[in-house]
Amino acid sequence: MREAGAGGAGGDSDGGRVDSVTLEVIRNGCEAVAEEMNGDLVRTGYSPNIKERRDCSTALFDAGGEMVAQAETMPVHLGAMPFSVAAAVEAHPPETLEPGDSVLLNDPFRGGAHLPDLTLVTPVYDRDGDLLAFAANRAHHADVGGSTAGSVAADSTEIYQEGLRIPPVKFERGTGAVDDDGLPESEVRGDVLDLVLANVRTPDERRGDLRAQTAANATGRRRFRDLADTHGATLRPALEEIKAYSERRMRAEIADLPDGIYAFSDVLDDDGRGNEDLPVEVSVTVEGDSVTVDFAGTAPQTAGPVNAVFAVTASATYYAVRCVTDPDIPPNHGCYRPIDIEAPEGTIVNPEPPAAVVGGNLETSQRVTDAVLGALAEADPEAVVAGCQGTMNNVTLGGTDPRSGTPYAFYETQGGGFGGRASGDGMDGVHVHMSNTLNTPAEVLETAYPLRVERYELRPDSGGAGEFRGGLGLRRDIEVRDHTARLSLLAERHESRPYGLAGGESGGTGAAYLFDGGNDEGSEDGGEKLPAKHTRDLPPGSVVSVRTPGGGGYGDPADRDPDAVARDVELGKLTPAAARERYGYDADDADGADPGGTDADE
């Protein structure tokens, strides 16, 4: 790692410099605080979506609302969270806040992303009562009301159908008392909590997850105060220098890219309301040590729920640019300063209210990432992976649990194929890019919900061919047990395919099927193919089979090592027929195979 103070002088504290060692100690201390916050949020979360899938993120911001450290969690959360902090501070300026207060919000048009993501922002004060920083976290709640259990309605046409919309509102307030460590004590505003719980299907889960969010920020407040006690007046200028250091390194990385304008276009399959092939157009201008990303030409905002608010578009863009630079650059506000984003208003990457937006955070964010990375591949081909699955494959099921007679709401995203890259094959069955969550373990899913996992496996042949093949998609079959459930499926890449790079082939598309009863072999035979965006009631015994896309391949398939092809066939990742068609490899006569693929052409 390069020296923390390289490239310029540190900040001043009482006329003195902040030395490089101290900067590194403080920087790592801030990151440790953010990671501990996230650990507490996961450990104390009530719902499987947080404690098992880890669909949450945490970060620290300075007194000016600029991010100084983050936990390594959800990219779609972290790039957008600064907009939430800014909205919270705008609605509740520092002079109106007291030690112990916190602000809750989820309004996508006031700093949020989509309604299930609730963000909590807590000011941190020093022992003299001066504002030091903000601790913030974002957690995806498995239900926030709206027309469909799980609050990810594939058929919504306006935000009012998507759940409870919360502008920045004080959620905790300081009592004026302090604990034994001198930290302010807080109490949750009962009226606000009652309002939230009255509008959701699973109030006990929501109460528990909100408690976890308040606990996480309390940890952030405590640990950051410890840093302030240790470093005193050095802390504030050090935070400024940490951001400046990341900015210098990011600018240096961008300056190494060749100047030019790089364009790319990709599409969303549809919006679920009959509008198809929605383009996401991007041009990336690299000039010196800065980048301008322009989305002119992108589809107008649409009736369906695939509109991504600007905070989400910015988050995906920041992430994509960071992917082609040095991953050791400390992630903070300084990384974003060299990146300008132009997203025309009234488009699917910057819609106007009351647009439906739940899928913009989930699906359009992935396509923005695909498009920006596709453009940057022209500037630095070896730094960019081929197209990943390009979707989160959102599945929600809800109804009344026959075991308890109480409502439930199940939500999860599904992994898929990661794109091949210049250094190796894509990973199989993982969450990609904007989603960095886990699956719901089958044991937890079957215990918490009246559902059963009938089948869970990799999809052979779903990865795109290449010198380095794309990762495989997944198949997950879920049975509805002893009740009628409401399904909402919100997915992408059922028509368009994840792109290959450097001569690699595209990855396989996704699909979804519904079976009325038992699912012996569970193939397409006998099943009803479902649209990628679909909402309906499912009778008892129904099986939803979700097939996720594979990643695109990288490099000419003719250059793939025959031993790698043989290994894929042996492991069942590639069928013998696909091995012959794509690579000219005959598993029955390996010694006579033509790795160059001429056998397949005859």
- pLDDT, one tens digit per residue, over 143-183 is 999 999 999 999 999 999 999 999 999 999 999 999 988 89
Task: Identify any residues that bridge with 458 across adjacent strands, giving them in sequence order.
Answer: 474
Mean pLDDT of 456-467: 98
- pLDDT, one tens digit per residue, over 190-238 is 999 999 999 999 999 999 999 999 999 999 999 999 999 999 999 999 9
- pLDDT, one tens digit per residue, over 1-51 is 223 333 333 333 343 478 999 999 999 999 999 999 999 999 999 999 999
Q: What global pTM score does this model have?
A: 0.92
pLDDT at 76: 83
What is the distance between the alpha carbons of residues 121 and 426, in angstroms, rounded to a whole number?
37
Mean pLDDT of 402-426: 97
Mean pLDDT of 506-526: 76
Domain ranges of the chain: 12-246, 254-384, 385-560
Residues with Cβ < 8 Å from 481, sequence gap 6 or more? 402, 450, 451, 452, 540, 541
Distance linking the first and last C-alpha atoms of the chain: 53
Question: What crossing angle do the helices spanning 81-91 and 310-323 adopt, rounded to 10°?
Answer: 140
Q: Indicate the pLDDT class of residue 479, thresholds 50, 70 and 90.
A: very high
100: left (phi over 0), alpha (psi -120 to 50) or beta: left
What is the distance between the alpha carbons of residues 155 and 190, in angstroms, rounded to a whole number?
33
Q: From the centroid of its chain, how far is CA 14?
A: 41
DSSP H helical segments within 260-357, as ranges? 310-323, 333-336
What is the distance between the alpha carbons of residues 587 and 406, in angstroms, rounded to a whole number?
54
Q: Indicate the pLDDT class of residue 590, thresholds 50, 70 and 90.
A: low
Q: How confident is the prediction for the chain on average, in pLDDT?
A: 93
Mean pLDDT of 51-69: 95
Q: Indicate the pLDDT class of residue 436, thresholds 50, 70 and 90.
A: confident
